[in-house]
Structure 1
Amino acid sequence: MAEKRKIEFDLRTYMMIIALVSIWIIFTITTGGSFLTPRNISNLFRQSVFTSMLAIGMVLVIIMGHIDLSVGSIVGLAGGIVAIFDVWQGMNPLLSIGITLLLGLIMGLWNGWWTAYRNVPSFIVTLGGLLIFRGILVGITRGTTIGPMGDLFYYLGKGYLSKEFGIIFAIIAAVIIIFIQWNGRRNKLKYNFEVLPLKLEIIRIIASVALLIIFILVLNAYRGIPVPLLVLTVFLALFSFITNKTIFGRHIYAIGGNTDAARLSGINIKQITLFVFMINGLMASLGGIFLTSRLNAASVAAGDGAELDAIAACVIGGASLAGGIGRVGGAVVGAIVMSSLDNGMSLMNVENFWQSIIKGLILILAVWIDMTTKNKELS
């Protein structure tokens, strides 16, 4: 019986991946095979990087029980700033990126300070930030589109790594996956936690490695690994480690799960809240840099509504708006789901208003399934 419960839990854990694969199969059938071509898969993941970066920062905020409505405006402002530095000022691209990321931290600091130290609800603070940052963007860009960007930004937005590098990356990633999953099993056994039967564990490891290799081969069948996807992979690994393996990460979950208990246990809630909003500002500014690089220009409309896509990605990926629940990996999977819907419906020539309706219905359905699952667990 214990094994059965464990298997059921794992199935729920991977439910979003199963749903994602199902979406891909449906679109492959409805588009006559166009969806799963190497070129389209490469473009899909390159396009999903933007929402994924926003979702990584947003999920930390949501886990703490807050919300950030200003990330779309931070994206636009960061993109405008880096474009001004690169196109108008001719600044060194690395320096312009560094300054832009620093300004993203400062914008996150602004949101976090009002929320943590002045007790203004994050909804109101970030709604104000949405208006403030967008207004600054219009002011500094004079309402014009700024471009084209330099060679480094073109590479960041549209560049690909060599196919040889893809093979090396697949080997290294496969070794890391085997080590993490096997080491995790040993640690659970050490502390008498429930684990999958050995045969199922081996099958899971083999399946994970096989999917990785297939994915890299598909990307190599087109032009190789997109540069933005590699950068996203690094940040995904980094923040997965932070949330799962560090005291800082555990404090984020503790605050979102029960703020009063976290305070009584000695957690510095104000400081953690400030840091999380700063991280969110950093990730939003990074997303702005990559969006501007991909579009090869900055405009006053850049990032408009992006905060809603980021929130939707987090919720679809399993995060609870009540706080205390969510994973970085789940948020990224949610972002890929959102991008897959956009990509697939565009290939089917679905009109824009239908795309919005369908994505809204899927968001509601995802939350309903999550709430139903939780109610069954409690009953």
Structure 2
Amino acid sequence: MSGSTLTKDSKPAPAPKTGSANPFVAITQNLRESGIYIAFVVVVVLFAILTDGLSLSPGNITNIVLQYSYVLVLAIGMLIVIVAGHIDLSVGSVVALTGAVSAQLVIGSNQPWWVGVIAALGVGLLVGAWQGFWVAVVGIPAFIVTLAGMLLFRGLTFFVLNNVSLSPFPAQYGKIATGFSNGLIGGNGYDAFTLLIAVLAVVAFAVTQVRTRIAKIRYQQVVDAMPLFVLKIVVVAAVVMAFAWQLANSRGLPYVLVILAVLILTYSMVMKSSVFGRQVYAIGGNLAAAQLSGVNVRRVNFWIFVNMGFLAAVAGVIFSSRSNGAQPSAGNSFELDAIAAAFIGGAAVTGGVGKIQGAMIGGLLVGVISNGMQLYNVDQSLQSVIKGLVLLLAVAFDVFNKRRSGVR
């Protein structure tokens, strides 16, 4: 009898599990993941009302992308650090140091702009290797190592710049953070190329979601109900196209957004599909179990900090490009913005939980709140209070979810 024939004692394979047919119920069942997206939409709508639509104008949306791109780059690396159960307090100083090295070469020594970029990235990798050695090999807690690094690299920044600012960068360097792709394929009053890229991104997202759903069904895993699945794709497509339309009606596609998109896609795949990504989650989730499973914890921790140094250098290049120079005080509090983005985006304080897209939404949420309060002329001191409360509530929400699910 063939393996596909059922006997009277045999039972058909169980149907794949699906979420509730009611989208609202499904969302509430996954509040940990969906809450940040709901909060983001609420904040966007709130400031759109308070500012009479000014916060959603093409020019303002473009400015948000340009102003907070370096925070999002830092948030990618910080999310990985936090998932592994560490913290990095030095990234703001590394941003300043890498920007200073680049400025000293390009402005001070008249080197080509790309030499400054390569040197900055090289310094970032060296900084990451330095801190990774002390954390992974010597065994000093990351909090202490990076606290020392915050002071050390800030001092090196003053030394490299000789306590003075350097500016301006050549035009080619400035285009890294302030340049735009506009008019490549025309458009009647808008940049059609920006819309084309957005359409391709939506199609890629939809195809990825469908393939992931098919794979989960094949392995009898839980999937969202079809109405919620379709709704998710439609909402994402609508948001992306609305965002692209605003960019297309402003100055076109920012180069820095292309850099950020490449980083998001790359690191999302690394954390989701690679051995390294799974090992990072394993270390943060249960260090003892990861060690017993054969994970080389020292090696993974070392490369986590090398990667953080690299991304801090990328942020340093972007920030110095946007600032059109390097200052000894650059990067102050950047580490706090990156940490806030990761935690607000759903990263767990104890490690083992967090996604790249969540950190990006968390960073954008902080950016939208800051931008909206500036447009609404909120006092600077009150802005800090509100951002502090947002971070506190995000972490409290994480703790509440753990207690509700019985996790200690």
What TM-score does the superposition give when structure 1 sets the normalisation length? 0.97
Tell me the equivalent position of 1:157. 177
Q: 1:225 to 1:11 in 2, by over 3 A?
A: farther
Q: Which amino acid aligns with 2:76?
A: I
Tell me the equivalent position of 2:19. 3
Q: Secondary structure at the match of 1:251?
A: helix
Tell me the equivalent position of 1:86. 106
1:19 is matched with which residue: 24, 31, 39? 39
8 Å Cα contact 1:318/1:331 also seen in 2: yes
8 Å Cα contact 2:341/2:363 also seen in 1: yes
**How far did 1:10 drift?**
4.2
Alpha-carbon distance between aligned partners in 2 of 1:53 and 1:108, rounded to the nearest angstrom: 15
**How far did 1:270 drift?**
0.3
Alpha-carbon distance between aligned partners in 2 of 1:199 and 1:29, rounded to the nearest angstrom: 30
1:60 is matched with which residue: 75, 80, 86? 80
8 Å Cα contact 1:55/1:314 also seen in 2: yes
**How far did 1:143 drift?**
1.0
Residues 1:276 and 2:276 aligned together: no
Tell me the equivalent position of 1:344. 372
Q: Which amino acid aligns with 2:253?
A: I
Residues 1:208 and 2:236 aligned together: yes
**How far did 1:227 drift?**
1.4
Q: Secondary structure at the match of 2:346?
A: coil
**How far did 1:338 drift?**
1.1
Q: Which amino acid aligns with 1:181?
A: Q
More helix by share: 1
8 Å Cα contact 2:105/2:116 also seen in 1: yes
**How far did 1:262 drift?**
0.6
Tell me the equivalent position of 1:223. 251
Alpha-carbon distance between aligned partners in 1 of 2:224 and 2:89, rounded to the nearest angstrom: 40
8 Å Cα contact 1:65/1:322 also seen in 2: yes
- Higher alpha-carbon Rg: 2
Alignment coverage as a number of residue pairs: 379
1:262 is matched with which residue: 252, 265, 290? 290
Alpha-carbon distance between aligned partners in 1 of 2:66 and 2:331, rounded to the nearest angstrom: 16
Alpha-carbon distance between aligned partners in 1 of 2:382 and 2:226, rounded to the nearest angstrom: 46
Tell me the equivalent position of 2:321. 293
Residues 1:315 and 2:343 aligned together: yes
Tell me the equivalent position of 1:77. 97
**Uncovered stretches (5+) of structure 1, i.e. residues with no partner:** none
Residues 1:176 and 2:243 aligned together: no
Q: Secondary structure at the match of 2:53?
A: coil
Q: Deviations over 1:340-375 (max 9, x none)?
A: 111111112222211111111111111111211222
Residues 1:371 and 2:399 aligned together: yes
**Uncovered stretches (5+) of structure 2, i.e. residues with no partner:** 1-16, 183-190
8 Å Cα contact 1:6/1:194 also seen in 2: no
What TM-score does the superposition give when structure 2 sets the normalisation length? 0.90
Tell me the equivalent position of 1:111. 131
1:124 is matched with which residue: 144, 160, 171? 144
Tell me the equivalent position of 2:9. none
**How far did 1:7 drift?**
4.1
**How far did 1:47 drift?**
1.3
Q: Deviations over 1:242-291 (max 9, x none)?
A: 00011110000000011111111111000000000000000011101100
Residues 1:241 and 2:288 aligned together: no
Alpha-carbon distance between aligned partners in 2 of 1:170 and 1:81, rounded to the nearest angstrom: 35
Residues 1:146 and 2:166 aligned together: yes
Alpha-carbon distance between aligned partners in 2 of 1:205 and 1:332, rounded to the nearest angstrom: 18
Query: Stretches of 4+ moved more than 4 A in 1?
Result: none
Q: Secondary structure at the match of 1:378?
A: coil
Alpha-carbon distance between aligned partners in 2 of 1:227 and 1:113, rounded to the nearest angstrom: 34
